[in-house]
Amino acid sequence: MEIKNTWQKIKDNRHFYYFLVPFLLFFSLFMLFPILFSFYMSLHDWGGLGKAVFIGFGNYLDILTDSTFHTALYNTTFMWLTSTPLILGFALILAVMLNKKEVKFLKYFRVGYFMPFVTSTVVVGVIFTILLDGTFGLVNFFIESIGFEKIRFLTSTAWSKISIVIVLTWRWVGYNTIIMLAGLQNIPEDLYEAAEIDGGSTLQKFFYITVPMMRPIILFTFILSTIGSFQIFTEPYIMTGGGPMQSSLSVVQYLYNAGFQQFRMGYASALSYVLFAIIFVASYFQIKIGSGEEGI
Amino acid sequence: MFTKDKITTIIFYILLITGVIISLFPFFWMISSSFKTLAEISAYPPSLFPDNIMWNNYVDVFDTLPYGRNLFNSFFVAFMYTFFGVFISATGGYALSKYREAPGRRLFFAVILSTMMIPMQVLAIPLYILMAQIGWINSYPALILPFAAQGFGLFMLKQYIDGIPDDLIEAARIDGCGEFRIFFQIILPVIKPAVAALGTIYFMNNYNLFFWPLIVTNKTIMYTVPVAIAQLQGQQFGIPLHHIMAAATMSTAPLIIIFLYFQKYIISGITMGALKG
């Protein structure tokens, strides 16, 4: 009886399946299958050609002691932890200024700030390669003209990561400004009016109204930045090639090298899973910490 | 005299305009460099404007690269990806939103949502092997199809369709309208703003995509623009910076025009996720 009932329900709702099938087909083939297959591969030693040899968690154990991976992880974490506060800080300040009633031309400012995000990362990479060049770059021209020595932005181990951070910041401030501006516009006006009646200063209003009200949005942008940071690939690939001496090698570029230069497919699959685990844990903690006392 | 508030406004303007200049200056530098000779680009001190306008750079790119084909690839792939990806997200989102009695609905939705955070890089290796097995390396399907079914897109359109009253659909059913006609003639027109928002985001993302086309193509004629430019940049000797800058300008200009035209939709698409999330 129960089975018959379910069957009847399926029949009555058959259009549900008709409508969902196209999405589901591609989703299963190109999302679910790779996720599972990737895990299977990560348990094997496989060069792409020939037979895969089952080695259990051997690849994962190798990752633990792989010093190049540690370097890549350190570099990526460094880029994440330096660029994110810069990006979100600048974005919040710009959004607050744009949200002031007396500031006009919002539409034009928004377009201007958004432009870096619209452009492809490869194009951004090639532009900054010449802007930051160690001998003829315009940035070095300014640095020299205010009396400092030229900086080898892209070819010194001390500066290569910082150069990537500069580019990331330039590219992502506008995008986050737009999100934060939308958040600010959602804060009820009467909160500020009440604070004004009580004699609150601009700074007090910022720290006691704006920041707490913006917390969900800041958390959202923080999580996006974290996920994005651990996917960094194009900027170092174009600008520094991960060098010099692996000083700007990112986790994804290491994964790319392992998979598509050395064809260690099993090892690269294990790296993919580690990368996913890192992103997952980082976002999970941010949600936990960010939602705090209310415990969403 | 100026009031304190007026001074604040003026300071804000100065800072905001400085920000816009920093934001836009690299584009100016790209365009200016695209008209310089190779020697002038790498001259020190750098010149703000080119000495002679080198229109030739724009012609010569087409000799250095099959750049016409690369541009075509980028546009064709991005367009097909957008059309296809948005369409299956719309039908899927509609199914999950409006057939609430269907067995398995919750499970499907939960599985799709749980993959939303998985970055493309995690899938690249197994997908590459899959593409190689079915002989799709250097093919358009490989550039278009793998990332068409995005949890993010389905979720966004489902959210929007949730807002359409069921009565509208019931009324159409009573009038004898078929299920597919309801979707095409009632639902699709209503969700147009969300479709436009998602479509613009999909187009931009795909047009700018680098990681996947880099992996799945190795013939110059199948390269999309970002891969073609990266290949020039990656040369060991005599990197043709003037050609790179011309190619970069040509690939960026159409996207900026599309952005200016659709910016309302892009901004609504991006903020939608934040405010609801």
Q: pLDDT exceeding 90 applies to what percent of chain A? A: 51
Do residue B33 and residue A130 have CB atoms under 8 angstroms apart?
yes
Architecture of domain A59-294: Orthogonal Bundle (1.10)
> Which whole-number Å values give the CA distances from B237 to A66, A118, A197, A243, in the listed order?
33, 31, 68, 18
pLDDT in the model for residue B277: 42
Residues 79-138 of B with CB under 8 A from A: 87-89, 91-92, 94-96, 99, 101-103, 105, 108, 111-112, 115, 117-130
**Dihedral pair phi/psi, residue A44, rounded to 5°:** -125, 155
> Which whole-number Å values give the CA distances from B225 to A207, B73, B213, B262, in the listed order?
45, 8, 10, 22
Alpha carbon of A97: minimum distance to chain B alpha carbons (Å): 6
pLDDT in the model for residue B1: 58
Query: Does the pLDDT value for residue A1 go beyond 60?
Result: no
Best residue in B125, B235, B257, B271 for a mutation probing chain A (most A CBs within 10 Å): B125
pLDDT in the model for residue B120: 85
pLDDT in the model for residue A91: 95
Query: Does the pLDDT value for residue A233 go beyond 90?
Result: yes
- For the segment A64-88, the average pLDDT, to the nearest whole number, is 95
Q: Which residue of B has its CA nearest to A121?
A: B208
Confidence of residue A223 (pLDDT cuts 50, 70, 90): confident
In angstroms, rounded to a whole number, what is the distance separating the alpha carbons of residues A202 and A200? Answer: 7
Query: Does the pLDDT value for residue A47 go beyond 50?
Result: yes
ipTM (interface pTM): 0.90
Confidence of residue A292 (pLDDT cuts 50, 70, 90): low
Alpha carbon of A288: minimum distance to chain B alpha carbons (Å): 15
Q: pLDDT exceeding 70 applies to what percent of chain A? A: 96
pLDDT in the model for residue A294: 45
Confidence of residue A291 (pLDDT cuts 50, 70, 90): low
Task: Please write the tens of the pLDDT for every residue from A173-185.
Answer: 999 999 999 889 8
pLDDT in the model for residue B270: 77
β partners of residue A45: A53
The full set of domain ranges for chain A reads 2-42, 59-294
In angstroms, rounded to a whole number, what is the distance separating the alpha carbons of residues A245 and A256? Answer: 17
Task: Please write the tens of the pLDDT for every residue from B251-261.
Answer: 999 998 988 88
- For the segment A67-95, the average pLDDT, to the nearest whole number, is 95
Name the more confident of B266 and A30: A30
Query: Does the pLDDT value for residue A295 go beyond 50?
Result: no
Interior/surface letters B201-238, b for 16+ CB within 10 angstroms, e for the rest: bbbbbbbbbbbbbbbbbeeeebbbbbbbbbebbeeeee
pLDDT in the model for residue B253: 93
Q: Which residue of B has its CA nearest to A229?
A: B119
In angstroms, rounded to a whole number, what is the distance separating the alpha carbons of residues A126 and A131? Answer: 9
The predicted model scores a pTM of 0.90
Alpha carbon of A34: minimum distance to chain B alpha carbons (Å): 5
Is the dihedral angle over the CA atoms A232, A234, A239, A240 positive or is it negative? positive
Q: Of A56, A129, A278, which is closest to residue B119 (Cα–Cα)? A: A278
Interior/surface letters A142-163, b for 16+ CB within 10 angstroms, e for the rest: eeeeeeeebbbbbbeeebbbbb
pLDDT in the model for residue B234: 80
- For the segment A98-113, the average pLDDT, to the nearest whole number, is 87
Residues of chain B with pLDDT under 70: 1-2, 273-277
Q: Of B55, B65, B120, which is closest to residue B230 (Cα–Cα)? A: B65
pLDDT in the model for residue A25: 95
The conformation of residue B46, written as its DSSP 8-state character, comes to: P
**CB contact, 8 Å: B15 with chain A?**
yes
Give the tokens for residue A237.
């690939």
User: What domains lie within chain B, and their CATH numbers?
Assistant: 64-276 (1.10.3720.10)
Q: Which residue of A has its CA nearest to B257?
A: A118
Apex A147 CA angle, A144 and A150, nearest 5: 35
> Which whole-number Å values give the CA distances from A79 to A73, A84, A225, in the listed order?
10, 8, 11
B151-162 helix and B67-98 helix, angle to the nearest 10 degrees: 50
